[in-house]
Structure 1
Amino acid sequence: MSEQAEPRPSGGYRRYRLVVDAVVVVAASALLAALGFGGSWRSFSVVSGDIAPWAPMLTAIPAAVFMLTKRRAPWLSLIGATIVFAIDLLTFGGIGPLLVLLDVLWLAAYQASARGRRGLLWGIGIASAALAGWAILLGETDLPLALVVGAQFGVIFATDYWWAVAMAQANELTELHRQRADDAAAAAERDRAAAVRHEREVMARELHDVVAGHVLAMAIRAEAALSTPPDADADRAALRAIRDAGIDAHAALRSMISVLRRGDGDALSTPSLADLPGILADARRAGLDVAFTSSAVVPPPAVAVEQAIVRVVREALANCARHANGAAVAVALDDGVDGVRVRVVSHGGAPAVSGYASTGWGLSMLRERVTALGGEFRAGPTDRGWVVEAIVPREVVAA
């Protein structure tokens, strides 16, 4: 347990507390001396004869000094106060040194570690037994009375000790609950930030995979129509494709807006292997020469794996349509021992839309999807063109 600061009261007393407490002890000792109350512990005194009423002030004033030093050096002050109290006990028997010792003992016990508190407790027990033994050795007190006297001192010091430890433990418990509350608030804030970041990533992927793809498909079909001689049938087919892409993009946007405004619904599209023929047909209409080969994927993989496979094919074909329109593209889907392998290889072609600048987000998001499922992903140039390849385990494995 770490050291603790002594609790301090508020107001003007707080600033001058040490001085005020010391003055009060000295004033109380002086008042008792003036009233003739002295020699409270005469049964322990080794001084013979009468003791002057003002004699206890000789130990009360030095003892009060340790009240001024208790915060900076609590253990040294405790040792000093104990020595002064022992001297007073064996001589004048005043009340001042006892009050000082109790005050300094309280602070030492309050700030002590668990080991230090055990030492103080042993010290209190040994001191109480020593006081009872000393009273017996002096011959002025019989055994039962000596035991009572020792027990009285033990109760006084033990009560002071218990009060300090109880206060310290209460403060420690309060601090522990405060720290736990702060940790819980920090964890909640981290969870909230993570949830917000996750939602932003989901929306970014959806915008890229669906909306951006449809919008760019519209631009590609328009560019193709503008770059060829006017043809009524071809131009109307291009307009129909642009219309269909616009409707799909609008539907995806409405879905995302619904999620953002009301928090319900699902903004994620859920492609499946059954969508591959349509995706391949769209790529051919966009101007790609697509060849597709596939081995049977039996049994069907997990839904998340199936979606990742379809997204890899769709993003790779979309990149070919943007950057290498007219290219020959080979799409292969194989079911292997290490998982489902999808490979898209292209060569030839030319950019479909002039002035289009790629951000590279599509491939990076594909990599995130695949690796999150425990798979492998690579994309890059080859001798003849470009390759996008992913191996996705059948069952979802956290990366």
Structure 2
Amino acid sequence: MTTQQTAPPTVARAHWPEPVAAGLTFALGGALIALGVTGLWSGAFVGQGAPGSQWWFLLPLGVACGAMLLKRRAPRTALVVATAALLLDLYLGSSLGTLLAFYDVLYSAAIAASPRLRRVLVVGAAVGIAGPAVAALLAGSDLRVALFVGLQMFALLATPLWWASDVRKRNEIIALAAERTTDLERIHALSRERAVADERTAMARDVHDLVASHMSAVAIRSAAALASPPDADRDRAALEAIRESALAAHTDLRSMITLLRSTAHAPPESATLADLGGLVDRARGMGIAVRLETPEPASLADVDPATQNTAYRIAQEALMNAAKHAPGSDVVVLVSSSGDGGADLTVRSTRTVAGGGAEASAPHDGVGLVTMAERAHAVGGRLDVESGDSEWVVAAHLPGARP
């Protein structure tokens, strides 16, 4: 499809319009006939002169120029007509104008020909070159004469075919280059779309991690305060916690907006496993009992920074899910180094409200779980979520950075 749209315009721009080319060829040929430039060739296959007047050469010249008008719309017909005009011109004694017109038609036919027709033209040219030379030898001519006749026929038939083949290959190369450029542009467009989609997904994930957790804490603490009888001290403590979460959300959102508007491309500040203590304290303030179990801090320091940030965000989302869907539950956070810069994280929470209340609902399979899974996959890890009768478990295996 692309080749058909690209190659023909390239060929069309390399030629004058057919009426102009035919008119100029007829004018040049007529001028040469008037000057007496005829009888270019001599031999057994060429006439010895026009019968009566040299103006008879205008007849094959006019026929050949008429064939030039058909060379694009009907190249085969134009070639047959031009060949007949050339043979007539040779019978009359040969003139330069008709030869030029035949050259143009043969070249155009070779350009537009199908592979099958090109093979026919090559075979015909070979016969046209070898035939007169062999015939000259059989007629008793000297070998030098036969070779000269063969060279003349080669110049007449092989040159335009050779030239057309070179131009056609050039046009095919141009068409292939145009196709390649179009494909590269399409690939670049798809790459840009993919990059934009990935960036939007990353932004949505960061907004969820940085802001949604704080706003959920605001909603949980305010709901707890409203569900209890008025108590000045408790309500004031709840308001202080709400204010703290709101300010933290504002700070995180402002930092993210500043990063997005910045042209410095500085990486955002990442949370580490050392920050899990503060995360656990905030979760306790939302009414869940959390116990953090970690090995020696020195072993966690070897964990890859990207893996540490991923583990922190997964733990943050898991604790938020426990606070929303199982308030008052007991939660255990276990984190350990798996070697090679990796980490294993497990967040295990009960599904029964503390104090013998009704069973809490299981976490919804919504944005939170999708975000945790995306973060684990982003570092080449795996996230497993298990929901039993009495507990809900989030387990993440996070490898270190790949070499």
TM over 0.5: yes
Q: Which residue of 2 aligns with 1:346?
A: 350
CA distance in 2, matches of 1:329, 1:312: 14
Residues 33 and 55 in structure 2, CA contact (< 8 A), matched pair in contact too: yes
In 1, the alpha carbon distance for the partners of 2:75 and 2:352 equals 85
**Residue of structure 2 equivalent to 1:5:** 8
Corresponding residue number in structure 2 for 1:107: 108
Mean CA deviation greater in 310-319 or 117-126: 117-126
Where do 5+ consecutive residues of structure 2 fail to align? 358-362
Matches within 5 A, 1:41-80: 41-45=41-45, 51-52=51-52, 53=54, 56=57, 59-60=60-61, 63=64, 66-74=67-75, 77-78=78-79
* SS state at 1:8 partner: helix
Residue number in structure 1 paired with 2:388: 382
Deviations 1:334-358 (A, max 9, x none): 556996242433312399xxxxx97
What CA distance in whole angstroms lies between the structure 2 residues aligned with 1:193 and 1:230? 54
Contact kept, 8 Å, 1:128 with 1:154, in 2: the verdict is: yes
Shift of 1:276: 1.4
Task: State yes or no: 1:362 paired with 2:368.
Answer: yes
Aligned residue number for residue 379 of structure 2:
373
1:236 matches 2:236: yes
- Give the drift of 1:274: 0.9
The residue number in structure 1 matching 2:220 is 220
Greater shift in the superposed pair: 212-221 or 151-160: 151-160
- Answering whether residue 326 of structure 2 is matched by residue 320 of structure 1, we say no
Distance in structure 2 (CA, Å) of the matches to 1:37 and 1:246:
101
Give the CA deviation at 1:206.
Answer: 1.6
Q: Which residue of 1 aligns with 2:331?
A: 329
Among all aligned residue pairs of Structure 1 and Structure 2, give the percentage whose two residues are the same amino acid. Answer: 36
Distance 2:275 2:43 in 1: 103
Alpha carbons of structure 1 residues 285 and 377: separation in structure 2 relative to 1, 3 Å:
same
What's the CA shift string for 1:353-381, capped at 9, x where partnerless? Answer: xxxx9792121121112123222223353
Give 1:81 shift: 3.9
Q: Note if contact 2:137-2:146 (Cα within 8 Å) is conserved in structure 1.
A: yes
Q: RMSD of the alignment, in Å?
A: 4.3
Q: Structure 2 CA distance, aligned partners of 1:252 and 1:50?
A: 100
* Aligned 1:276-295 pairs, distance under 5 A: 276-294=276-294
CA distance in 2, matches of 1:326, 1:174: 72
Q: CA deviation at 1:288?
A: 0.6
1:296: Cα distance to partner? 6.2
Q: 3-state SS of the aligned residue for 1:43?
A: coil
* Cα distance in 2 for residues equivalent to 1:150 and 1:103: 21
1:308 and 2:314 aligned: no
Q: Supply the distance in 2 between the matched residues of 1:389 and 1:190 (Cα, whole angstroms).
A: 35
Q: CA deviation at 1:158?
A: 4.9
- 2:396 partner SS: strand
Instruction: Report the TM-score, using the length of structure 1 for normalisation.
Output: 0.76
Would the alpha carbon gap of residues 363 and 259 (structure 1) be closer, same or farther in structure 2, given more than 3 Å must change? Answer: same
Task: Describe the shift of the 1:201–1:29 C-alpha distance in structure 2 as closer, same or farther (beyond 3 A).
Answer: same
Q: Contact 2:307–2:343 at 8 Å: present in 1 too?
A: no
The separation in 1 between residues aligned to 2:142 and 2:327, in whole angstroms, is: 114
- Structure 2-normalised TM-score? 0.75
Aligned equivalents of 2:380, 2:43: Cα separation in 1: 84
Q: CA deviation at 1:286?
A: 0.7
1:65 deviates by 5.7
1:348–1:250 CA distance, 2 compared to 1 (3 A): same
Q: In the alignment, which residue of structure 1 is the partner of 2:360?
A: none
SS at match of 2:344: strand
Most deviating of 144-153 and 116-125 = 116-125
2-structure distance, mates of 1:308, 1:296: 20
> How does 1:229-268 map onto structure 2 within 5 Å?
229-264=229-264, 266=266, 268=268
Cα offset, 1:318, TM superposition:
0.5
CA distance in 2, matches of 1:266, 1:214: 24
Structure 1 residue 294, shift from structure 2 partner: 4.2
Aligned residues of 1:255 and 1:265 also touching (Cα < 8 A): no
Going from structure 1 to structure 2, the CA distance change for 1:320 and 1:301 (only over 3 Å counts) comes to same
What is the aligned partner in structure 1 of residue 203 from structure 2?
203
How far off its partner does 1:209 sit? 0.3
Q: Which digits, 9 at most, give the CA deviation of each residue in 1:116-168, with x for residues without a partner?
A: 878866765664454444455556x7544554454344345555345444544
Pairwise CA distance, 1:56? 4.7
| Mapped partners of 2:120, 2:271: distance in 1 | 72
The 8 Å contact of residues 203 and 256 in structure 1, kept in 2 or not, is answered as no
Deviation digits for residues 157-200 of structure 1 (CA, Å, limit 9, x no counterpart): 55534544454455445445544544444444444433333332
Is the Cα contact below 8 Å between 1:329 and 1:346 reproduced in 2? Answer: yes
Letter paired with 1:310 = Y
C-alpha displacement of 1:31: 7.0
Q: How does 1:383-398 map to 2 (within 5 A)?
A: 383-396=389-402
Taking structure 1 as reference, are residues 117 and 302 closer, same or farther at Cα in structure 2, changes over 3 Å only? farther
Tell me, in whole angstroms, the C-alpha distance in 1 between the residues paired with 2:345 and 2:329.
Answer: 22
Q: Which moved more, 1:248-257 or 1:60-69?
A: 60-69
Gaps of 5+ in 1: 352-356
Distance 1:108 1:340 in 2: 74
Q: Check 1:206–1:159 CA distance in 2 against 1; reply closer, same or farther (3 A cut).
A: same
CA distance in 2, matches of 1:266, 1:240: 33
Are residues 239 and 264 of structure 1, via their aligned partners in 2, closer, same or farther at CA, if it must alter by over 3 Å?
A: farther
